[in-house]
Amino acid sequence: MVSSIDVAKLAGVSQATVSRVLNDPDKVNKPTLDKVNAAIRQLNYRPNAAARSLISRKSGVIAIVSGPLDNPDNAEFTNETIKRIQERGFIAEIHLQDSSNPESVLLSVQNTQAEGIILGSIVIDEIAIAKLKKTGIPLMFFDMEPAANEHTVSLDNRLAGAAAAEYISSLNHSNVGWLGGEPSESHLQLRYQGFQECAKANNMNILRAMAAIDDLDAPLSAMLARKERPTAIIAATDMIAYRAMDFLVDYGYRIPDDISLLGIGNAPLSAMSYMNLSSIGISGDRDIYSDGVDRLVKAIEEGSANKSVEMKYAPVLFERNSTRKI
């Protein structure tokens, strides 16, 4: 394992100088700073978070608040965010929200000793956000749009919904179902709002079914039982689209011959051959996880907990085999 001693030897400086570069770079002259940083990059050195804590008297910890890991979207968010946190020399502290008692995890995270907090797509209201902000710990909301003046990185959810409607309209579908998105899920509500506005502008007939991901059978059955059933269904997330795909196939519907199916999120499973789900998501050349962690680390280093940074990514269509023109 590469150590700060190795960095010091390569840069031709003392280990104390390497420590100053890592913990107080403003006090290091630029030529030395550049030399040490070049050695760090060459050796791919990652500072040990425990040692960093002893030197700076900071915890070296970033807390992650995620939903249940049996949801693949939450599992991906947690796994990828942990990697990025560790790559930047911090320790990841995991807090999982229990859907039956969502407030409990927010109470526990208020007492964290972490230097920053990343929140995934969880259930949270403005009161809880205000309490977390009172801790003075920088917050980063991942793929959420809870309120203005917050650190956020996310898909532009309203535009994603609009892009979904525009794409389905271009395939000549006029009876279109929208599936999923509960009132507590603000980012999914924004997706629906964008979809609704664009669908109405394109004179589409909207059939909306609001339901939790584990309770889709009844609303889907009701949607398909209508005299003018939808020829296309847009799911608020790819995960909801997967569940809808299972339901449709089990009941003898052919995708996309009988019904086109479109998700939002472009989760990794969507590109798998057994899914081949068309989806609206973020361009493949953007790393939302790195961007989010980098922004949070910057807020930690600058002490800018109250300075909002909002990064919204334009939606991109990933057209696969679950949609067709009629």
Domain boundaries, the chain: 4-45, 61-155+285-313, 157-283
More confident residue, 108 or 57: 108
Q: What is the tens place of the pLDDT at every residue in 7-25?
A: 889 999 988 788 778 777 7
Dihedral sign computed on CA atoms, order 83, 84, 85, 87: positive
CA angle 75, 168, 186 (to 5 degrees): 45
Rounded mean pLDDT, 164-188: 89
Rounded mean pLDDT, 182-203: 89
61-155+285-313 CATH, one of 3.40.190.290, 3.30.420.10, 3.40.50.2000, 3.40.50.2300 = 3.40.50.2300
Please name the residue that has the structure tokens 């019904």: 259
Q: What is the tens place of the pLDDT at every residue in 194-213?
A: 999 999 999 999 998 877 66
C-beta separation of 109 from 98 below 8 A:
no
| 61-155+285-313 and 157-283: identical CATH topology | yes
Domain 157-283 fold is Rossmann fold (3.40.50)
Token pair for residue 168?
């389905």
Q: What is the tens place of the pLDDT at every residue in 95-137?
A: 999 878 888 888 888 888 899 999 987 888 888 888 888 888 8
Instruction: Quote the pLDDT of residue 146.
Output: 59
C-beta separation of 73 from 237 below 8 A:
yes
Q: What is the layout of strands, in order, in the sheet containing 232-235?
A: 205-209, 175-179, 232-235, 260-264, 278-282, 315-318
Instruction: Quote the pLDDT of residue 52.
Output: 52
